[in-house]
Structure 1
Amino acid sequence: MTDTTIEQATAAASGAAATEQFRTKQRTATADVDTKRVDTLVSELLAAAHDIIRRHKVTYAEYDVLKSWLIQVGADGEWPLFLDVWLEHVVEEVANENREGSKGTIEGPYYVPGAPRTPTEATLPMRENEGGIPLLFQGQVRSVDGTPLAGAMVEIWHADDDGLYSQFAPGLPEWNLRGTVVGDEQGNFRIHTVQPAPYQIPTDGSCGRLISAAGWHAWRPAHLHLKVSAPGHHLITTQLYFKGGEHVTDDIASAVKPELILDPAPVAGGSGREVTYDFVLDKA
């Protein structure tokens, strides 16, 4: 933990920030809406809900609790959190099932575009005396045919040693532990940061009430978020975890894959840890 006073990150505050980020992204997004597909998806979703009600003989009291909870999820601004924690991993699995390159996983609700851009070798913006073990994260970005991708962009963001994300918790500098690193002529990158900590998703709002009612835990394992891109190739969104870390085997968001687990080694003759991880991108 740093010597900076950490204010409480509330579900309402982080939910509002996540909702606004999503709305900003949607303002520039375009999508063709196929009415037949909407009809199919919504009808089957409702049919599945109807089946659950019938099989489990849901009572009016239970229905009213659900109705109240759904309303409160919106009031708390927690729909991005709810959807990203419990549904996105399946959407990602289906969307990328035919990819040949590196494995992806969920984006999560805490991505912010436009992080400061730096050439490699780079050190992420951080506070003086930033908590956490120093980490050198390095690798190469290549195409599926093995060609190094010059100037590939590696967007990286992660929680601090208190499990908090800049722009989603008070008291943190705007771009703390966020950056966009441009690879060299061979697609190589070297990023100096700190190893993040596991954290609980906010539990003082509607998602927390669901977790408590169901007897679940709220923990995510420590992880790095990344978006890696290069011209003529598909962008990959992923998260990388740490071997032996807490909750790697029972992530509440079900986002961990074996291919995404890092095994950092001590830095030879120095302090901290280092790890090499290469990204392979599919051609567009």
Structure 2
Amino acid sequence: MTDTTAEKATAAASGAAATERFRSKLRTDAAEGDTKRVDTLVTELLTATHDIIRRHKLTYAEYDALKAWLIRVGEDGEWPLFLDVWVEHVVEEVAGEVREGTKGSIEGPYYVPDAPALPAEATLPMREDEAGTPLLFQGQVTSVDGTPLPSAKVEIWQADDDGFYSQFAPNLPQWNLRGTVIADGTGHFKVHTIQPAPYQIPTDGACGQLISAAGWHPWRPAHLHLKVSAPGHQLITTQLYFEGGEYVDDDIATAVKPELILSPTPTGNGDDREVTYDFALDKA
């Protein structure tokens, strides 16, 4: 990890960037304000909160500490981080209950739309001296019935070998390790990248304060983020992890699924590795 990046990649800066990205994201699937559903969800949430207070005899000192912490979450811009780490995996679980194709996973707070378009075989944008083990990630995009999906779109983004994401940490090129790969006429793609490192969610902000107070660890296992789509099919958002990697069995975000674990193999060219993973998309 470079000292410069480590010194300046603060929770506040990362949180502010994540919040701004969320605010600018067009949410065409957002709830339309069904008052009965809002009433049901909010009432049940509050009822569950009231039950916790009663069962654990919450004191005023603890209540004031909670209020102070909630205020700090907002001040640090960490609501996207908090929700994506501890809540989103259940929302994704519910959303994917009826899918037959590839398993989904959380989007997380570090997605940026409109990454540079790349051909079916491409190298992700990266620095000339990008650290990390070279990885060839390849596969095919099909419908659930096995029909190839020509020109399917494979958006990919990942942390670097230090665990940092471009546009959310300083001193990284804007699109470092981000790209939109357009599959070929048979739905195949090949992406040359590096194997990412596990990363620590920011610990100097409100979320880090919660982690420390609860005695948890702040780590996510190494993973590739993907959004895969094709006309007439449902977009799938997922993450792919690495067999035997640290924190695969103890992910702070509880987002790992057995179906999403990769097993790269040596290519015979130095330390280079390769792995094949195919995507099956449900019809829209």
In the superposition, the TM-score normalised over structure 2's length comes to 0.97
3-state DSSP class of the match of 1:92?
Answer: helix
Q: Report whether the alignment pairs 1:84 with 2:84.
A: yes
Secondary structure of 2:8's aligned partner: coil
**Superposition pairs of residues 194-233 of structure 1, within 5 angstroms:** 194-233=194-233
Distance (whole Å) between structure 1 residues aligned to residue 140 and residue 28 of structure 2: 31
In structure 2, what is the Cα distance between the partners aligned to 1:281 and 1:27? 21
In the other structure, the counterpart of 1:100 is 100
Distance 2:234 2:141 in 1: 12
**Residue in 2 that maps onto 1:261:** 261
Deviations 1:215-235 (A, max 9, x none): 000000000000000000000
Mapped to 1, the partners of 2:262 and 2:198 lie a distance apart of 15
Is residue 37 of structure 2 the alignment partner of residue 47 of structure 1?
A: no
Cα distance between partner residues in 2 of 1:125 and 1:281:
26
User: 1:13-57, CA deviations, whole angstroms, 9 ceiling, x for partnerless residues?
Assistant: 000000000000147665411000000000000000000000000
1:120: Cα distance to partner?
A: 1.2
SS at match of 1:216: coil
Paired with 1:150 and 1:199, the residues of 2 have a C-alpha distance of 34
Q: Secondary structure at the match of 1:125?
A: coil
Query: Superposed, which structure 2 residues align to 1:2-41 within 5 Å?
Result: 5-6=4-5, 7-26=7-26, 31-41=31-41
Alignment of 1:153-168 (within 5 A): 153-168=153-168
Pair 1:57-2:57 in alignment: yes
Structure-2 separation of matches of 1:141 and 1:112: 22
Corresponding residue SS for 2:50: helix
Q: Does 1:186 align with 2:183?
A: no
Aligned mates of 1:168, 1:114 — CA distance in 2: 16
1:39 and 1:100 map into 2 onto residues whose CA distance is: 32
Amino acid at match of 1:44: E
Residue matched to 1:128? 128
Q: Does 1:172 align with 2:206?
A: no
Percent identical: 78
Question: Is the deviation greater in 23-32 or in 64-73?
Answer: 23-32
Matches of 1:12 and 1:269 in 2, distance apart? 41
Offset, 1:268: 3.1
- The CA distance in 2 between the partners of 1:189 and 1:127, in whole Å, is 22
Distance in 2, matches of 1:151 and 1:74, equals 41
Counterpart position of 1:141: 141
Q: Secondary structure at the match of 1:66?
A: helix
Structure 1 vs Structure 2 CA RMSD: 1.3
CA distance in 1, matches of 2:149, 2:185: 7
1:88-138, Cα deviation, whole Å (9 max, x unpaired): 000000011000000000000000000000111100000011010000000
Q: What is the count of residue pairs matched by the alignment?
A: 283
Shift of 1:5: 4.7
* 1:30-87 superposed Cα distances (whole Å, 9 cap, x missing partner): 5411000000000000000000000000000000000000011000000000000000
In the other structure, the counterpart of 2:71 is 71
Aligned to 2:111: 111
In 2 relative to 1, CA 155–257 (structure 1 residues): closer, same or farther, beyond 3 Å?
same
Rounded to whole Å, the distance in 2 between the matches of 1:218 and 1:47 is 29
- Structure 1 stretches of 5 or more lacking a match? none
